[in-house]
Amino acid sequence: MKKILILSIFILNFSSTLVFSKNSLYEKIDLFGEVLENIKKEYVDDVDQAEVMDSAINGVLQSLDPYSAYMSPDLFKEMQTDTRGEFGGLGIEIGMEAGVVKVISPIDGTPAEKAGIKAGDYIVQIGEEQVQGKSLMEAVKLMRGPVGTSINLTVRRKGTKKPLEFRIIRKIIEVKSVNSEIISKEKNIGYLRLKSFNENSDNQFLESIKKFEKNKNIKGYVVDLRNNPGGLLTQAINITDFFLDDGEIVSTKGRKVSETRKFFAKQGDVIKGKPIVVLINNGSASASEILAGALKDHKRAIILGENSYGKGSVQSIIPLRNGGGMRLTISKYYLPSGKSISEVGVTPDIFVEEQDDDFKINSEKDNQLNYAIKLFNS
């Protein structure tokens, strides 16, 4: 009898909680309606109610994390349109932080990178438009345009008091994901620069390694992930697997069972245990962090450079009934150690900061790469 009584009280309390939660939610909805009505009646200028609602919806999504966002029907349609040969871009991966567009990474060899945009820059103005208050997708739309046309970006950079201005000419962004060469005076280090994780990156990467392995003099490898904004999870898993014989590579955890998975390495290290140095910086994000983090956790590589970006989440594009869409975070990445990459990133084993103002990746002034080369010869 006592058990039945306790269960009844629990159900009663649970039902009361549900009623309270629903009532609280309805009160908030009523309050939102009241705010809209006051804006309509009292605000100094005429306001488009539909635009206000779009901003409110986007505000809800962006309050979750920097990567979730709302796309109106027009914007969603435009994002799905194949614009090859007609529209160009700047070559930057961006996110939102505190209502401002933050550069995750400029892609190597693109107009943005050549102009001097750096990972961690905050874009505060696009042309004549202030970025504050705009959604991520609205900012993307402003930066897109016909190939050959220019756009002015005003940027705030940590450590620089005055805003910086860049004039960038739009181009079709075609990224070859892997560059490779043999480096060092002794010509005994294989250098692999991985710029992104696209559909064919693993094949390009493996092909480069096979060419290097034909050279019996190869002592080890530098895998350069600096300014690599990420890409496909499957590619990160495949490329990590090239260097491991077994063990977990990464796991994903979400609310749905289908989004909670673990991925393991198959037997076979393609470079047979040769040493690896992985270069990362603030522009190394997402899939780059999976590769660097897994190799670090398995003590398979030395990680050198600066702390990575900290984008450890997976987004899905969900179409909506009004013809628009939403970009929503559905799961998070976890390294073999169980640590989340989100907002933390991967910490290098050896911290080496960019030193020169004219610093350029894989140049004479690349002090990070020069340090990595010294490790092989020490």
Residues 116, 52 within the same domain: no
* Rounded Cα distance, 280 and 290, in Å: 12
Query: What is the pLDDT at residue 20?
Result: 52
Residues 42, 91 within the same domain: no
Query: What is the pLDDT at residue 19?
Result: 53
| CB-side neighbour CA atoms (13 Å) of 344 | 13
The domain boundary residue, chosen from 71, 100, 123: 71
Residues 63, 80 within the same domain: no
Tens digit of pLDDT at every position of the chain (378 positions): 544 444 444 444 545 555 556 678 888 888 888 888 888 888 888 888 888 888 888 888 888 988 888 888 887 876 665 333 345 689 888 888 877 889 988 888 889 999 999 988 999 999 999 988 787 878 888 888 888 999 999 999 988 989 999 999 999 877 778 999 999 878 799 999 999 898 889 999 999 999 999 887 899 999 999 999 898 899 999 999 999 999 999 999 999 888 899 999 999 999 999 999 999 999 999 999 999 999 999 999 999 999 999 999 988 889 999 999 998 999 999 999 999 998 899 999 999 998 877 788 888 889 999 999 999 877
The domain boundary residue, chosen from 71, 93, 126: 71
Residues 188, 318 within the same domain: yes
CATH number at residue 246: 3.90.226.10
3-state helix, strand, coil in the chain (%, to 5): 35, 25, 40
Q: Is-contact 239 291, C-beta < 8 A?
A: yes
Just list the catalytic residues: 286, 297, 311
The domain boundary residue, chosen from 116, 145, 169: 169
Query: What is the pLDDT at residue 290?
Result: 96
Residues 67, 82 within the same domain: no
Give the count of domains, the chain: 3
Residues 226, 338 within the same domain: yes
Residues 366, 285 within the same domain: yes
* Rounded Cα distance, 80 and 305, in Å: 37
* Rounded Cα distance, 333 and 125, in Å: 32
Query: What is the pLDDT at residue 7?
Result: 44
Residues 43, 82 within the same domain: no
CATH number at residue 85: 2.30.42.10
Q: Look at residue 256 and give its three-state secondary structure.
A: coil
Residues 44, 115 within the same domain: no
Residues 224, 344 within the same domain: yes
Name every residue whose Cβ is closer than 8 Å to that of residue 350 and which is 6 or more positions away in sequence.
302, 303, 304, 305, 371, 375
Range of the domain at 280: 178-377
pTM of the model: 0.76
Cα torsion 150, 156, 160, 166 to 10°: value is 0
Residues 27, 146 within the same domain: no
Residues 208, 351 within the same domain: yes
Query: What is the pLDDT at residue 244?
Result: 97
Q: Give the burial string for 195-223 (b: 16+ CB within 10 Å, else e).
A: bbbbeebbebbeebbeebeeeeebebbbb
